[in-house]
Amino acid sequence: MLAWRNLWRHGRRTWLTVGAMIFCNALLVFLISFQLGSYSMMIDGNLGVLTGHLQVQHKDYNDESRMRFSVPGGVELAQELRDHTGIEAMAARGLTFALASSEERSFGIQIMGVQPTFEPLVSTLPGLVKEGRYLKDNAAEEIVIGSVLARNLKIGLGDELTFLGSGRDASFAAGIATVVGILNSGMSEMDRTIAQIPLGYFQDVFTMDASVHAVVVNTDELDAVAPVKAQIQSELENVDLRVLDWNELQPGLKQAIQADMFSAFVMYAILIILVAFSVLNTQLMSVLERTREFGVMMALGLHPGGLARLVLLETAVMSLIGLVLGCALGAIITGYFQSNGLYISGMEEAMDRYNLPGRLYPQLSALSLLAGPAIVFIGGMLAAIYPSLRLYTLQPVTAMRAV
């Protein structure tokens, strides 16, 4: 009660401090949401190219990608999984090393057998075909190649490409396909080595029978990865198969994000320290200038402990207001950008090259909403300790004489 009235006696000062807290909290909510949102985007962007969020593979395939470590009945399995999980974005793939040859030279390439209808749902590559078209028919002897490979082989749309490699039974495998599309991903490694042919054709040339090397799954959100993984794992009856998540498929990605988080934490820490300092400042001043008042109260019998509690209570009330209003403000701002996207100049073209959306969408979540403000609250309370401790050193008589 007393605490409340005390606060409002120095309304302006109280508001300034609370204002600082609100600002800081709102900022933290927005920034953390933004950070998490951009991480999602980074991860999705990276995985969306080729890896996908999950893959079903032969249990040894991720370690050693040998042709014979295959997933039997892959196309059927993919359809079953689609039906049972309701996720359309699943595609079966075959993958092997092969040689593409021109007159004098051979170039090592990665040939992927893909399902033309489903592959565009799990990978951005089909959308990066800049000349010609993507694959359509599952059995057609057609091929889509990277722009650098086309350059190296000196071929273009409509030309024939000869490729040879080893089948699943290690036998000699070879084929001639017509180039129907040339893709430009902007990543030279990929444009130099990737070639895609329809899965049916792949299985035929490389003696795969009905098997594939992976079923790639794209979940809509990162949060969905763990539950979907568990679901698929329970559906798999074959003990030789495994579901791997993107962490296992691309080990470096998570760490790159962790590094970024580190620098962000440093910044948050500094922000919070500044705000805590502000609180310390305010409360200290408030204590100092109410020295006389406190002196009177102590003379009237109030224990230093009671005074300390008073100060702490005041701080708590201020911090709480700061927390609530800050969270609210932060949520509103973040919500706005979450629907409309944040636009930083230059990003649009940079992203476009990789077939990624050009805007950043912060993501509000329980974590991003509460984490920052909670720590500010704690920091504020901690900061109030020193001023309240000083109360114990007050001598009622000297205090009452203070100005």
Partner 1 sequence: MADHPSLSIGILITLAWRNLWRNYRRTLIMLAAIVVGVWAMILFSAMMRGMLDEMVHAGLRVLPGEAQIHHPQYRDDPSIANSLDAPQGELLQALNTPPITAWTSRVKVPGMISSERDNRGVLLLGVDPAGEIALGFQRENIVEGRFLESSEDKGIVIGRKLAERLETQLGKRVVIMSQSPDNEVVDKGVRIVGIYKARLQATEEFFVYVGRSHLQKMLLVGDQVSEIAMTADNYQDVDKWWPDIAAVAGAQTSTEPWMKLDGYLNSMLEVQGNMNIVIMVVIFMALSFGLVNTLVMAVFERIREIGLMMALGMQPLWILYQVLLESLMLLALGLVVGNLLAAITILPLESGIDISIVGEGLEMAGMGSMLYPTLAWQDMLMSTAVVLVLGLLASLFPAWRASRYNPTEALGKI
Partner 2 sequence: MSRIFFSALLLTLSLPGAAQPDAKELIEKAMDMWRGLTSYGEMTMVIHRPDWQRSMSMQSWSEGTENTLVRVTAPAKDAGNATLLKDTNMWSYAPKINRVIKVPSSMMGQSWMGSDLSNNDISKSTDIIDQYDHRLIGTRQEKGHTVYSIESIPQEDSAVVWGKEILDIRDDYIMLEQQFWDQDGVLVKSFKTLEVKEIDGRPVATIMRMQEVDKPDQWTEMRVEQSQFDIELPPGLFTLSNLRNPRQ
Residues 143-182, mask of contacts with partner 2 (x by CB under 8 A)? -------------------x-x-xx-xxxx-xxx------
Which 250-269 positions form the footprint of partner 1 (CB under 8 A)? 251-252, 254-260, 262-263, 266-267
- Give 28-45 as a DSSP string: HHHHHHHHHHHHHHHHHH
- Our finding on whether 94 is near partner 2 (CB under 8 A) is no
Which residue in this structure is represented by tokens 């980074």? 42
Binding partner of 19, given partner 2, partner 1, none, CB within 5-8 angstroms per partner class: partner 1
Distances (CA, A) of 153 to 96, 128, 160, 176, 392: 19, 20, 11, 14, 85
The Cα–Cα gap between 396 and 304 comes to: 10
Of 393, 32, 363, 67, nearest in space to 222 by CA: 363
State phi, psi for 114 to the nearest 5 degrees: -125, 160
- Our finding on whether 152 is near partner 1 (CB under 8 A) is yes
Binding partner of 167, given partner 2, partner 1, none, CB within 5-8 angstroms per partner class: partner 2
- Our finding on whether 151 is near partner 1 (CB under 8 A) is yes
The Cα–Cα gap between 236 and 56 comes to: 9
Of 195, 29, 215, nearest in space to 119 by CA: 215
Neighbour count for residue 233 (Cβ, 10 Å): 13
Binding partner of 169, given partner 2, partner 1, none, CB within 5-8 angstroms per partner class: partner 2
Distances (CA, A) of 205 to 65, 100, 201, 246: 18, 14, 6, 30
Binding partner of 174, given partner 2, partner 1, none, CB within 5-8 angstroms per partner class: partner 2
- Our finding on whether 219 is near partner 1 (CB under 8 A) is no
- Our finding on whether 200 is near partner 2 (CB under 8 A) is no
* Min separation Cβ 166 and partner 2, Å: 6
- Our finding on whether 282 is near partner 1 (CB under 8 A) is yes
* Min separation Cβ 23 and partner 1, Å: 6
> Where is 150: in which H helix or E strand?
helix 147-153
Give me 345's structure tokens: 């100049």
* Min separation Cβ 165 and partner 2, Å: 8
Q: Write out the residues near partner 1 by the rule CB under 8 A.
A: 12-13, 16-17, 19-20, 23-24, 27, 31, 97, 104-105, 107-108, 148, 151-152, 188, 192, 251-252, 254-260, 262-263, 266-267, 270-271, 273-275, 277-278, 281-282, 284-285, 288-289, 344, 346, 350
Contacts to partner 2 by CB under 8 A: 99, 101, 106, 108, 162, 164, 166-167, 169-172, 174-176
